[in-house]
Amino acid sequence: MTDSPEGQSDVSLEKVFYHRETTRLVHWREFSGARTAVLLTLLVTVLTFITGLSTLSQEKLVLEGPLAAVLPDVTGVVRLGGVLFAFLLGLLVFGLHRGKRLAWYLTIAVLPVVGLLPLLTLQTTHMPLLLLILGALPVLVINRAQFDQRIDLSSLQVAALSSIVGVLVYGTTGSYVLRDQFTAIDTWTDAIYYVFVTIATVGYGDITPLTPETKWFSLSIILLGTGAFTAAIGSFIVPAIEKRMATAFGNMTPSGLNILEDHVLVLGYSDITESLLGELAGERDIVVVTADKDDAANLDDRDVSVLTADPTDEDRLRDAKIETASGVVVATRDDAQDVLAVLAAKRTNPDVYIVAAANDQHNTAKLEDVGADEVISPMAIGGRILGRVEADCPPPTAVTLVVPRHRTAPGDAHTKK
Range of the domain at 381: 259-392
Instruction: Say if CB 251 and CB 308 are below 8 A apart.
Output: yes
- Type of residue found at 222: I
Q: Are residues 279 and 381 in the same domain?
A: yes
pLDDT surpassing 90 at residue 109:
yes
Find the mean pLDDT for residues 62-71: 73
More confident residue, 241 or 173: 173
Spatial neighbors of 290 by CB under 8 A, at least 6 apart, are 268, 269, 296, 299, 306, 307, 308, 309, 311
Task: For residues 113 and 88, give the distance between their C-alpha atoms in angstroms, rounded to a whole number.
Answer: 12
- Type of residue found at 414: H
Residue 136's pLDDT is what?
92
Q: Are residues 267 and 374 in the same domain?
A: yes
More confident residue, 171 or 417: 171
| φ and ψ of 184, to 5 deg | 70, 25
Burial of 341 (0-12, 13-18, 19+ CB in 10 A): buried
Q: Are residues 124 and 184 in the same domain?
A: no
Task: For residues 109 and 85, give the distance between their C-alpha atoms in angstroms, rounded to a whole number.
Answer: 12
- Identity of the highest mean pLDDT range in 132-146, 259-273, 365-379: 132-146
pLDDT tens digit sequence for 295-317: 777 776 666 778 888 888 888 88
**The domain that contains 361 carries what CATH number?**
3.40.50.720
Structural domain count of the chain: 3
Residue 105's pLDDT is what?
92
Q: Are residues 276 and 386 in the same domain?
A: yes
Q: In what order do the strands lie in the sheet with 374-376?
A: 305-308, 286-290, 264-267, 327-330, 354-357, 374-376
Q: Are residues 388 and 277 in the same domain?
A: yes
Query: Where does the pLDDT of residue 383 fall: very low under 50, low under 70, confident under 90, or very high at 90 and above?
Result: low
Q: Any idea what the Cα angle at residue 380 is, between residues 377 and 383, rounded to 5°?
A: 150
Q: Which long-range contacts (CB under 8 A, 24 or more apart) does 233-241 make?
A: 234/160, 235/154, 235/156, 235/157, 235/160, 236/157, 236/160, 239/154, 239/157
- 271 domain-assigned: yes
**The domain that contains 244 carries what CATH number?**
1.10.287.70
Residue 389's pLDDT is what?
54
pLDDT surpassing 90 at residue 106:
yes
Q: Are residues 190 and 134 in the same domain?
A: no
Domain endpoint, select from 223, 248, 273 = 248
- 409 domain-assigned: no
Task: For residues 137 and 133, give the distance between their C-alpha atoms in angstroms, rounded to a whole number.
Answer: 6
Q: Are residues 331 and 232 in the same domain?
A: no
Q: Are residues 199 and 305 in the same domain?
A: no
- 312 domain-assigned: yes
- 410 domain-assigned: no
- Residue 282 backbone class (left: φ over 0; alpha: ψ -120 to 50; beta: rest): left
Domain endpoint, select from 248, 281, 314 = 248
In angstroms, the first-to-last Cα distance of the chain is 60
Task: For residues 170 and 289, give the distance between their C-alpha atoms in angstroms, rounded to a whole number.
Answer: 49
Q: Are residues 136 and 185 in the same domain?
A: no
Altogether, the residues listed in the chain come to a count of 417
Residue 53's pLDDT is what?
85
- 408 domain-assigned: no
Q: Are residues 104 and 197 in the same domain?
A: no
Task: For residues 213 and 203, give the distance between their C-alpha atoms in angstroms, rounded to a whole number.
Answer: 18
Instruction: Say if CB 295 and CB 271 are below 8 A apart.
Output: no
Q: Are residues 179 and 116 in the same domain?
A: no
Domain endpoint, select from 91, 116, 142 = 142
- 228 domain-assigned: yes
Name the E strands within 309-390: 327-330, 354-357, 374-376
Residue 220's pLDDT is what?
92
Residue of 70, 341, 125, 185 lying closest to 358 (CA atoms): 341
Residue 334's pLDDT is what?
86
Task: For residues 292 and 306, give the distance between their C-alpha atoms in angstroms, rounded to a whole number.
Answer: 11
Q: Are residues 306 and 189 in the same domain?
A: no
- 416 domain-assigned: no
CB atoms within 10 A of CB 21: 7
More confident residue, 212 or 154: 212
- 188 domain-assigned: yes
Q: Is the pTM of this model over 0.85?
A: no
pLDDT surpassing 60 at residue 189:
yes
